[in-house]
Amino acid sequence: MKAPQFWFEPTNWQAKSLLPLAALFWLGGFLRRLLTRAYRAKIPVICIGNIIAGGAGKTPTCIAIANFLLQQEANPVFVTRGYGGSVCGPLRVDPTIHIASQVGDEALLLARIAPTWISRNRAAGIKAAEAEATHIIMDDGLQNPTVKPSMAFLVMDGAVGIGNGLIIPAGPLRETLHSAEKRIDGIILIGSSDVQGIGTKTYSPVMHARILPDLSDDFPKDAKFFAFAGIGRPEKFYQTCSDAELNLVGTTDFPDHHTFTENELLQLEQKAQAAEAKLLTTEKDWVRLPPTWQTKIATLPIKLVFDIPELPRSFLKG
C-alpha cells in the first residue's frame, strides 16, 4: 500500500471526512493498551518503534543498536513480527533456508547481524528468544501492549515528521506524539532536516542520526544505474544513491513490501538495458527477489550513523 498524498499535506476535506474512523482507530488502540496485561522479560528488552505508517528507519536503527551491544560483548537477539511473511511463529529465522515470503524481508536483514525470532504474538516471541540472549531488540512494537520493554526509542524521519498530525486513516499516525512520549526514553531523529521542528516540540531526549551509504571497495561506483524500490519512502533510497555519488539514469517506485512479479522485473531489466545501466535496489527489496534475479541486481548497503555516538551508548549502558 502506498501512503495517500493528503497525509502529508495541510488538513483538507479528505482528511476531515475520515476523522470519525480515525477516532475509532485511536479508541481501539487506547482500549487495547488499557486492558492488556504486559509480559515483562527476565532480560532487558529494547523497543525500537515509530508512530507513523510506513518506513521511518527502524531496521537500520535496530542494526545500529545491536552493533553497539556486540561491541560490549553482549549477545543481542532480535524479535520482530515478520511482516509480509506467512509464518506466525515463534520461529528462529535461518537465512540459509527461510525466504521473505515466509518470514518477511526485515527478519532476513536482521538475521545477518544477530539471532532473530519472528512471532505475531510478541510476548511468545520474547519468551522464546530470552533463553539465548543478554538483550532483546524488539523491532517495532511501540503500540503493542503485550510486552513491557525495559527501554523504548521512537524513530522518526526528520524529512516527514508527523505528516498532517492526524490518526489513521485521516493521517499517517498510529498514535499521537504526545501519547507515545509517555512510554519512550528518547527519540531518534533520522536525516539532516527536521521540517516540522520535532526537536523543539518534544520534552524527550533527541538523538540525531543519518542513513549513509556503506559501499565496499569493489562496488562499481562508475557504472550507470537504474534504481527501483518498494519501501515506505523510495525517495530516501534515491537520495542515499545521490549521497554515494552514483549515476542514476532512471527510477521506478513500488508499494512498501511489494512482491515483485516476473513481468515487472523483465520490464525493469528492459529499461535498464535501454539506458545501458545496471539494476540497483535496496537490501530490503533484494531479499524479496526470486533467487534467479538476485544474481542480476545490485544493492546499495546502508548504515545508520549517530551524530553523537556516545548518546545511544550512554542510554544502553544505563
| pLDDT tens digits along 250-269 | 999 998 889 999 999 999 99
Domain topology for 11-211+306-317? Rossmann fold (3.40.50)
What is the CB-side half-sphere exposure of residue 284 using CA atoms within 13 A? 26
Residues in the chain predicted with pLDDT less than 50, given as ranges, are: none
Distance CA 120, CA 225 (A): 37
- Residue-level pLDDT at 104: 92
Confirm whether 11-211+306-317 and 215-300 share one CATH topology.
yes
C-alpha of 189 from chain center? 13
- Residue-level pLDDT at 318: 62
**What is the length of the chain?**
318
Q: Is 172 in contact with 15 (CB distance < 8 Å)?
A: no
Domain residue ranges in the chain:
11-211+306-317, 215-300
- Residue-level pLDDT at 232: 82
Distance CA 32, CA 28 (A): 6
The letter for the amino acid at 237 is: F
In sequence order, what are the residues at sequence separation of 6 or more whose Cβ sits closer than 8 angstroms to the Cβ of residue 217? none
- Residue-level pLDDT at 117: 97
Distance CA 2, CA 234 (A): 11
Domain topology for 215-300? Rossmann fold (3.40.50)
Distance CA 136, CA 155 (A): 17
- Residue-level pLDDT at 61: 95
Q: Is 143 in contact with 183 (CB distance < 8 Å)?
A: no
- Residue-level pLDDT at 295: 92
- Residue-level pLDDT at 160: 87
- In this prediction the pTM is 0.91
- Residue-level pLDDT at 112: 94
The letter for the amino acid at 99 is: I
The letter for the amino acid at 57 is: G
Q: Is 164 in contact with 176 (CB distance < 8 Å)?
A: no
What is the CB-side half-sphere exposure of residue 157 using CA atoms within 13 A? 22
C-alpha of 24 from chain center? 26
Which grid cell sits at 87? 509464518
pLDDT tens, residue by residue, 109-132: 999 999 999 999 999 999 999 999
Distance CA 277, CA 286 (A): 17
Distance CA 76, CA 111 (A): 11
Cβ density class 8-37: b for 16+ within 10 Å, e for less: eeeeeeebeebeeebeebbeebeeebeeee
What is the CB-side half-sphere exposure of residue 168 using CA atoms within 13 A? 12
Listed in order, strand segments (DSSP E) in the chain are 45-49, 76-80, 91-92, 116-118, 135-139, 151-157, 186-190, 206-213, 224-229, 247-253, 278-281, 298-299, 302-306
